[in-house]
Amino acid sequence: MKKIILIISIFLITTLTLNAVDYTKRKSVKKFMHTMQYRYGFKKKTLERWFKNVRKNSYIRRLRQGLFCYGGRCDSMGSWDIYSYQFLKRVGGGVYFMHKFRKTLKRAYKKYGIEPEYIVATIGIESEYGLMRGDYFVFDRLVHLAFDKNDRRAKFYRKQLIALLRLSAREKINPKKIRGSSSGAIGLAQFIPTTYKRFAVDFNHDGKKQMNNVFDAIGSIAYYFKKHGWRRGEDVAVRVKYEGLRFDRLPTGYTHKYYRKSLKGIKPREDFNYHGMVSLIKLERGGYDELWYGGRNFYVITRYNQSSYYAMVVHQLAQKIKRAYKKRYGKF
């Protein structure tokens, strides 16, 4: 029995050794560790232990397939159909989440003015309400990105690595155990470390700011939107009418702004409680383009992820959750 245990132990140690990379010999890493030691007060032995055993493969498990294509199905679908498919199915989970944490969401709305359904939709898209918080060990992933690739993004990832180590020290957690996305985003809200530092809030008043804590995640998303200019009670987007099936006569996307009076032949399909300049957001579908007005709050959502499709899927999921919640529970 002892012999078997010894063999298993040797196998595990050998496997861990083979799957680990020692970064402490690299000049760039030595310089980085020196900075962390003398500027931020980290212990040399601790840094050497972390950087001496960096997992070669920081991937934890296989990601889910978002869309199953068969019989040429995807060929007949537009880019919006494909992009939105996996996200707009998350209504039921959103209703459950919204009801379970309604008191916290109401408090966030009262303090920051962010409608609850948009906080819930953001968490739904970023982490599927906490079920999918990331498939990578963040420390190891950031080390690979910061020191293996000699490109313009390496500097960005070194900043993320500094922020990760500093937040782990503040929150008294082991950085080697933190899990997140392939770019180092963490928790229910999927904040990257530098965003975490600027916008994470201690919303449950326990003395910690933790993105894996539901209450802190809700408060932090609300604070993030508020700081980027969200306007309470203002409509986010509305679908509009136009002639034809495909729209290409004007530039579209959140970076282009128009006065509504100048957009001849384009009119909202329903009331739109917004009076500023709008963006034209085009959603490419299988046989036609959907066209939408995007207002100021739509632009704010793009500060979370700089994509018109991302902001639109947040908006549409939020509205679906709001309607389903009202149908099931009544007024929020």
Q: Check which CATH number belongs to the domain holding 251 and give it.
A: 1.10.530.10
Is 325 inside any structural domain?
no
Is 174 inside any structural domain?
no
Q: Is 20 left (phi over 0), alpha (psi -120 to 50) or beta?
A: beta
Q: What is the DSSP string of 40-63?
A: T---HHHHHHHHHSEES--B-SPP
- Structure tokens, 155: 């500097």
| pLDDT > 50? residue 217 | yes
Cα angle value 95/100/105 (rounded, 5°):
85
Instruction: Name the least confident of 30-39, 54-63, 323-332.
Output: 54-63
pLDDT of residue 104: 98
Is 87 inside any structural domain?
no
Please give the Cα distance from 80 to 74 (Å, whole number). 11
| pLDDT > 90? residue 58 | no
- Residue 307's SS3 state is coil
pLDDT of residue 266: 97
Is 266 inside any structural domain?
yes
pLDDT of residue 19: 78
Bridging pattern class, strands 267-268 and 237-241: antiparallel
- Look at the block and give the residue holding tokens 């503040």: 170
Q: Could you tell me where the DSSP H helices lie in the chain?
A: 2-18, 27-38, 44-52, 79-85, 91-100, 102-112, 116-127, 138-147, 153-171, 193-199, 214-227, 296-302, 308-329
Please give the Cα distance from 184 to 157 (Å, whole number). 9
278 burial type by CB count under 10 A (0-12 exposed, 13-18 middle, 19+ buried): buried
Percentage of the chain exceeding pLDDT 90: 82
Q: Give phi and psi for 252, each to the nearest 5.
A: -115, 170
Angle of helix 153-171 relative to helix 138-147, nearest 10 degrees, comes to 150
Read off the pLDDT of each residue in 58-74 and give the average, rounded to a whole number.
Answer: 56
Is 244 inside any structural domain?
yes
| pLDDT > 60? residue 321 | yes
Is 255 inside any structural domain?
yes
Bridging pattern class, strands 289-294 and 20-21: unpaired
One-letter amino acid for residue 323 of the chain: R
pLDDT of residue 322: 98
**By the 8 A CB rule, do 56 and 19 touch?**
yes
Please give the model's pTM, rounded to 2 decimal places.
0.88
Cα 224 to chain centroid, rounded: 12
pLDDT of residue 76: 66
Host H or E run for residue 137? strand 136-137
- Structure tokens, 274: 């917004």
Total domains in the fold of the chain: 1
Is 256 inside any structural domain?
yes
Closest alpha carbon to 311 in 252, 254, 238: 254
Instruction: Name the least confident of 8-17, 50-59, 141-150, 206-215.
Output: 8-17
The domain of 290 spans 237-308
Cα angle value 296/298/304 (rounded, 5°):
115
One-letter amino acid for residue 125 of the chain: I
DSSP summary character for residue 191: B
Please, which residues have CB within 8 angstroms of residue 124's CB and are 6 or more apart in sequence?
87, 90, 93, 94, 97, 317, 321
Q: What is the DSSP string of 229-262?
A: T--TT---EEEEE-SSSS--SS--STT--B-GGG
- Residue 39's SS3 state is coil
| Exposure of 169 in the CB half-sphere (CA atoms within 13 A) | 14
For the stretch 128-162, pLDDT in tens is 999 998 889 999 999 999 999 767 889 999 999 99
Is 294 inside any structural domain?
yes
